[in-house]
Every structure is written in structure tokens, then in C-alpha cells.
Amino acid sequence: MTAHALSPQAREFIEGDHHLLIGGEWVRGRGADIPIENPASETVLTTIRAASTEQLDHAVAAARAALNGLWGRMNVRDRGLLLNRFSALIERDAGIIAEIMTAELGQTLASSRGVAGSLSPALFRYYAGWTDKITGEAFDPIVGADVQQFMGLTIREPIGVVGAIIPWNASPGMMGLKLAPSLAAGCAVVLKPAELAPLCASYFARLWQEAGGPPGSLNVVHGHGATIGAAMASHDGIDKITFTGSTAVGKAIVVAAAGNLKKVTLELGGKSPFIVFPDVDVEAVARTAASWCFVASGQACIAATRVFVHADIHDRFVEALGNHTRNLIVGDPTEPSTNLGPLVSAAQKQRVAGYIASAKAEGARMVCGDEPVPAVGHYVRPAVFTEVDPAMRIAREEIFGPVMSVIRFDDEQRMLDTVNDTPFGLSGSVWTRDLERALRVARRIDAGQIGVNVHGPMSPQTPFGGNKQSGWGREFARNGLEEFLKIKAITIRIGDRP
């Protein structure tokens, strides 16, 4: 995107100061300078300043003080109203936020608008509704012989100070996943956005202030993963880390979290299957497979990267897929006709190019993807490979780019064995009109969420998370709220004192 395509509001925000938000104050970062690139034009949008580790300590202390102060004492109705105000502000500014997201990330403006104007405010509104519905239980504990001597109670308390570490993809959605349930639960949060795309988080910090968020309830610190991210994971003042990103960093966080045994929720990589049986509209489902593999130029954890196609329709499906994919428009993400914007960085493009080269070297057949791309910008053509052996690297590793592996099958059980022969278990979908088959296959896929004739629907009420090395815990829905609550049991003697 060229800078002149930005609205004056978006441009003014991007070029302004991106201070840290600590304890309700804007503080100039004392860490390294981080230039933020527009991946479409390869120009520097702005430079932000990272927090120093001392400033991270201040942010953690401010969060703790908020829990012990105004924020911790806020009436649950007012907490809900605050989250609703915040949701309305995100909606009000969704156009600006979408522009910022596209500028720093390269994702098409149309899809940025969906994330900023729809998914993100929906999550804040959904969790606003939970604030006054967090309840415990009363029960008769089995203590002593006389049931009238004791009463048991459980209460649900905020888990404490939360460190939220988010990735660069779809950050307004990521903030909905992390901030909405943790703040609804009454936690105080230190948010660290990704160093590649931190500007939407910077904008959300401003909106939280405008909504009237009490000092220290939400703190935003910028910084690199290896410094500030790692310092959060090992910080003794943080009670819980909620993280989305790579499986490798997820494992590093678990190790670092061992110091104070902080609780950890992880949403990590995926290699999601998209399973197509012969009784479908082949052309339509081929287009859908492409749209879910190439969503956000493939930079989505739920991307449908392994497409299993029944032998009876394989060749027709691949032909339809190739014809469709060759016509997808790769280019300026602010153009309404564009299907795929650039990848987030030169490093990501290089990484993806490495996978494409490995697929060719390992003998997969490239159906399309070799066409030229714009000279400036981190563009990659969407690539479809057939004759992919499930042992090949492109079929096993998370690529995070627009690369599809088509795998032919005829036997349902053998196909399922291959589907599940992966360290990941995030998502997947099955495409057929035969409901019995659909449910049988859905039950056998080892993943957190499965679509039947739909892929990757994101609804606030639908639990989302990964099995195996795709993560720990669940986000969205009541499950996402529970990740930020801890239960306290209280037993009360109500009969004769001893």
C-alpha cells in the first residue's frame, strides 16, 4: 500500500507516537527502536520504541496494583459496560483500524475490515455479557456425619496478572481472544503485540483509555519476543500467559513459565486437513478449498493446507483448483479486486520460497504458483502441489504461506491415519452430503474443531483451540473465560462450634 492511500486519520495515527501504556500513563519506551514496515511497499511506516525490562516490571506492578485497587473492586455491571463501550469504540473506528492492519500486515483491506469491524468487536461484546454471570456453587460437603453442620461454597476469582503475547496476523482478532475474556474475568493484563505488526495494539490501547479503562487494567508494552516476550514468560509477577504463535515459541514459554509455575494457554501451529468426498459440487468445493488455504495469504493457523481428495474426483478437482488459483489476483492489498496481499516480511517470503523449493525437490507436482509477482512487496503466488507424499516437508510442517498440498485417497480409514499422522491438531473440515460419513470422519479427526461443509467458522460461542502440539486450552466461548478464572472453595461450619 502506498502511504497516500491511507486516510488522514490512519496516517496521522501511524506516524504519531507509539508510547507504552503503563498504569494509565503514556510512557516513552526505553528499549530498542523497531522500524515497522509496510510489506506491500517495503517502506518504513513508522518506528516504535520497545520497552526496557525495567519498564516491563513497571507494567506488571501496575497490573498488580490495579487488581488490588479500582479495577479489582469495580462492580461487575460496570465492568460489562466498560467492555461494551470498548466494543463500540472498535466498531466506530473499524475503518481506521482495518487500514492500519493492512498497512502493517499486508492482508487485504476487505479481510482486515472483517477482523476489525466484525470479529473483534463481537468478541468484546460477547465477553461483556459474561461479566455479571460468573458464578460459583453452594453444596453440602461430606464433612462429618451431620449434613447440617457444614456448607460448601465455590467462588470464581480472576486468575491475576495476565501476560498476553500475540502474533502479527489478525491482531485485532487476537486481542479479542486474549483481552476480552481476561478483562471480563477481572484480570489485569500486560499485552505485548508482535514486533512485526504492533500498531493495531497501540490503537486499542488508546481506545481502552477513551472507554475509561481504570489505570493498570490494560497495559501495553512493545518489544521483541526474545527480550520482552521471554521476560514476560519468566516473570514472577505474572500469573498467567496467554499466547498465540509458533509451536517452537510455545514450548519456550512453557519452559520459562516453570519458574513460578504460571498457568499457560497456547494457540499454536496447525496443518489442517480439508477432506473432500466424491458426492460434492467439485468446482465449488475446489474454490472453497483455495479460499481457506490462501486466506490471509496462507498466514492463518487454521489454513486448509492439506487437501485430501477422493480418487474418484481427484483429477477434476485439481483441474478446477488450478484454473481458479491461477486467476487469483496477487497485489496491492488496498485494491478491492485483490485476493492475496503480500506476506508479512521478507523473512516469511523466504521461508515460504524454501518450502516451495523443497516440494519440487522432493518430487511433488506443481499445478500452479510459478507465475510472476510484483517486483516490490513480499508477494508469493498461491501454489498448488499434487502427487504430495504425506512424508514430504510441505505436507508435515506449518508453512504460513499460500502453499497447498493435495493428497489423493480412496480408503477412508487409511486417509484418517494420514490425517492424524501429524504433531498438529488444530482444525479441519469434511465435505460430503452423507451426514453419517461426515460425523464418523469428524469424530475421528484428532483436532480441536471440525467443520462439516464449512471450514474454520469463527464464532464467539464456538470453542477454539488445538490438540497435540497445536496448543493448550481453549479460547472463545465460556471455555475461553474459564482460562482466566480460578476456583476457590470455602467450607463454612454452620452447626455447633467445636
Q: Which of residues 5-34 bind ligand NAI (CB under 6 A)?
A: none
* 195 near ligand NAI, judged by CB under 6 A: yes
Count interface residues toward ligand NAI (CB under 6 A). Answer: 26
Q: Tell the burial category of 452 from Cβ atoms under 10 Å away from its Cβ (0-12, 13-18, 19+).
A: middle
DSSP symbol at 41: T
At its nearest, how many Å lie between ligand NAI and the CB of residue 345?
A: 8
CA–CA separation, 128 and 181 (whole Å)? 8
CB 382 within 8 A of CB 400: no
* 104 near ligand NAI, judged by CB under 6 A: no
Q: Which is nearer to ligand NAI, 36 or 165 (CB)?
A: 165
- 200 catalytic? Reply is no
Q: Which is nearer to ligand NAI, 96 or 241 (CB)?
A: 241
Among 114, 229, 341, 460, binds ligand NAI (CB under 6 A): 229
Q: Which is nearer to ligand NAI, 131 or 169 (CB)?
A: 169
CB 367 within 8 A of CB 279: no
Which grid coordinates belong to 230? 521471554
With cell 519498564, the residue in question is: 55
Residue, CB closest to ligand NAI: 225
At its nearest, how many Å lie between ligand NAI and the CB of residue 291?
A: 18
Q: Reduce the DSSP state of residue 351 to 3 states and report it.
A: helix
Q: Which of residues 363-422 bind ligand NAI (CB under 6 A)?
A: 398, 400
* 226 near ligand NAI, judged by CB under 6 A: yes
At its nearest, how many Å lie between ligand NAI and the CB of residue 315?
A: 31
CA–CA separation, 251 and 456 (whole Å)? 25
Q: Which is nearer to ligand NAI, 173 or 214 (CB)?
A: 173
With cell 526496557, the residue in question is: 52
* 296 near ligand NAI, judged by CB under 6 A: no
Among 194, 201, 404, 441, binds ligand NAI (CB under 6 A): 194
* 467 near ligand NAI, judged by CB under 6 A: no
At its nearest, how many Å lie between ligand NAI and the CB of residue 91?
A: 24
Q: Tell the burial category of 399 from Cβ atoms under 10 Å away from its Cβ (0-12, 13-18, 19+).
A: buried
Q: Which of 114, 95, 107 is nearest to 10 (CA)?
A: 95
Among 201, 233, 364, 416, binds ligand NAI (CB under 6 A): 233
* 39 near ligand NAI, judged by CB under 6 A: no
Q: Tell the burial category of 149 from Cβ atoms under 10 Å away from its Cβ (0-12, 13-18, 19+).
A: middle
**Strands 33-38 and 20-22, bridge-based pairing:** unpaired
Query: CA separation (Å) from 422 to 269, 396, 429, 474?
Result: 11, 7, 16, 20
Which grid coordinates belong to 29? 519506551
Name every residue whose Cβ is closer than 8 Å to that of residue 59 and which is 6 or more positions away in sequence: 20, 22, 23, 51, 190, 219, 221
Q: Which of residues 121-180 bind ligand NAI (CB under 6 A)?
A: 165-169
* 53 near ligand NAI, judged by CB under 6 A: no
Q: Which is nearer to ligand NAI, 149 or 227 (CB)?
A: 227
**Strands 471-472 and 263-267, bridge-based pairing:** antiparallel
Catalytic residue among 301, 368, 398, 483: 301
Q: Reduce the DSSP state of residue 105 to 3 states and report it.
A: helix
Which grid coordinates belong to 225? 519476543
Q: Which is nearer to ligand NAI, 322 or 480 (CB)?
A: 480
Catalytic residue among 104, 267, 475, 483: 267
Among 211, 230, 340, 343, binds ligand NAI (CB under 6 A): 230
Q: Which is nearer to ligand NAI, 84 or 305 (CB)?
A: 305
CA–CA separation, 445 and 443 (whole Å)? 6
CB 109 within 8 A of CB 98: yes
Q: Tell the burial category of 54 from Cβ atoms under 10 Å away from its Cβ (0-12, 13-18, 19+).
A: exposed
At its nearest, how many Å lie between ligand NAI and the CB of residue 286?
A: 25
- 195 catalytic? Reply is no
CA–CA separation, 188 and 71 (whole Å)? 8
Q: Which of residues 235-274 bind ligand NAI (CB under 6 A)?
A: 244-246, 249, 252-253, 267-269
At its nearest, how many Å lie between ligand NAI and the CB of residue 224?
A: 6
Per CB under 6 A, the segment of 145-153, 222-230, 283-291, 303-311 that binds ligand NAI is 222-230
Q: Which residues are catalytic?
A: 267, 301
- Which residues in this chain contact ligand NAI in the complex, by CB under 6 A? 165-169, 192, 194-195, 224-226, 229-230, 233, 244-246, 249, 252-253, 267-269, 301, 398, 400
